[in-house]
Amino acid sequence: MQISARNQLKGKVTAVTLGSVMAEVVVTLADGQEIVSAITRNSAESLNLKAGDEVMAIIKSTEVMIGKEA
């Protein structure tokens, strides 16, 4: 399935922290930069996410801000 979200960054799961309702997932990109995702615990469990998994970090473009040194 093709998704309209313009940002789909390949990486590897390096940490999964399961909370009561939410979960934090850390994905390391090929160049070593990290992306942190906060999804529901149920999502993390239904995707059976664990360290080492090859995944995509998916981000809708309207959720991306830009910062520029003044």
Gap between the Cα atoms of 34 and 31, Å rounded: 9
Query: For the window 7-46, what string marks contact with a second copy as x by the rule CB under 8 A?
Result: xxxx------xxxxxxxxx-x-xxx-x-xxxxxx-xxx-x
Asked if 64 interacts with a second copy (CB under 8 A), we say yes
Please give the size of the binding site for a second copy, defined by CB under 8 A: 54
CB of 56: closest distance to a second copy in angstroms?
A: 4
Asked if 51 interacts with a second copy (CB under 8 A), we say no
**Contact in structure between 33 and 26 (CB atoms under 8 Å):** no
Q: Is 13 exposed, middle or buried (0-12, 13-18, 19+ CB in 10 A)?
A: buried
